[in-house]
Amino acid sequence: MAERQRVGVLVSGRGSNLQALIDAAGAADFPARIVGVISNKRGAYALERARAADIPSATISHRQFEGRAAFEEALIAQLRDWQVDWVVLAGFMRVLTPTFIRAFAPRILNIHPSLLPAFPGVGVQQAALDYGVRVSGCTVHLVDEGTDTGPIIAQAAVPVRDDDNAESLAARILVEEHRIFPAAIRQIISKPWRLVGRRIVFEDAP
Ligand code: GAR
C-alpha cells in the first residue's frame, strides 16, 4: 500500500466523529493516519479521545488572538509542523477564511449535519424541523471559500419523525455521520478523482 496520507483533525467539542475516524484508521488498509488534533475549545472531550489514542493534540483557542488572521496563522503553523496532507473538520465550529482554505485546498474535508445545499451554517437540525422537511441527513464535502458550499463527496438521508426535536434528529443523523465520514475520507484519499464543474467524479484506478 502507498504510504498513508497525514491527516490533521480540527474539532470543537465532543469528538464523536473524530472517534469514528480513529476507529476507521485502525484498519490496516485505511489510506490515512491522524497525525494531530487541534481543538479551539479548551477541555473539549475530543482532546481526551486523541490522548486515549496516543495522537498528539493542541488547544489553539480563537480567544487567545486579536483577530481571525492571527488565529488561523497559528492553526496553519501547527498543521504544517505536523506535515499534514489533509485537514479534516470534525465538528469544528469556526468559519475559516480564504487564507486558511488556500493554505490546504483542495485537501480540506468537512462533515455537516444536513443534506446540503439545504440548511448550511449552524442550528441546522432545528432549521430542518422548522422548515418541515420530511428527510434530512448529513453531507461530507470538500471545503471551499463559502460556508458549506464545497463539492459534495457523500451524503446520507434519514427520515424526520413527527415527534422529533433537534436532539433526536441530531442523534439519528449522527449515526449516519459516523458511517459516511470515514468512508468518504477513504474514498477521496485512495481513488483518483477530478472536478467536473461542481461534481466530483471518481475514476477507477487502472
Ligand atoms: C456533528 O453533528 C457535525 O456534523 C457538526 O457538529 C457535530 C459534531 O459532533 N458539525 C457542524 O455543525 C459543522 N458546522 P462531534 O463533535 O461528536 O463529532
pLDDT tens track for 24-56: 999 999 999 999 999 999 999 999 999 999 999
Cα separation, 91 vs 17, in Å, equals: 7
Number of domains composing the chain: 2
- What residue numbers bound the domain in which 182 lies? 110-206
Give the ligand 1 atom nearest the CA of 11.
16
pLDDT band at 2 (very low <50, low <70, confident <90, very high): confident
Residues 44 and 99 in one domain: yes
Give per-residue pLDDT as tens, 76-99.
Answer: 999 999 999 999 999 999 999 999
pLDDT number for residue 1: 63
Residues 6+ apart with CB under 8 A from 45: 13, 14, 15
Cα separation, 204 vs 134, in Å, equals: 35
Residues 6+ apart with CB under 8 A from 143: 89, 96, 101, 105, 108, 109, 110, 150
**Ligand 1: residue whose CA is nearest its atom 1:** 91
Determine how β-strand 108-112 pairs with β-strand 86-89: parallel
Residues 97 and 150 in one domain: no
Is 141 a residue of the active site? Answer: no
Ligand 1 lined by 137 (C-beta under 6 Å):
no
pTM of the model: 0.97
Residues 84 and 58 in one domain: yes
Are 179 and 104 within 8 A, CB to CB?
A: no
Residues 151 and 182 in one domain: yes
Answer whether residue 205 shows pLDDT above 70: no
Are 144 and 80 within 8 A, CB to CB?
A: no
**Ligand 1: residue whose CA is nearest its atom 3:** 91
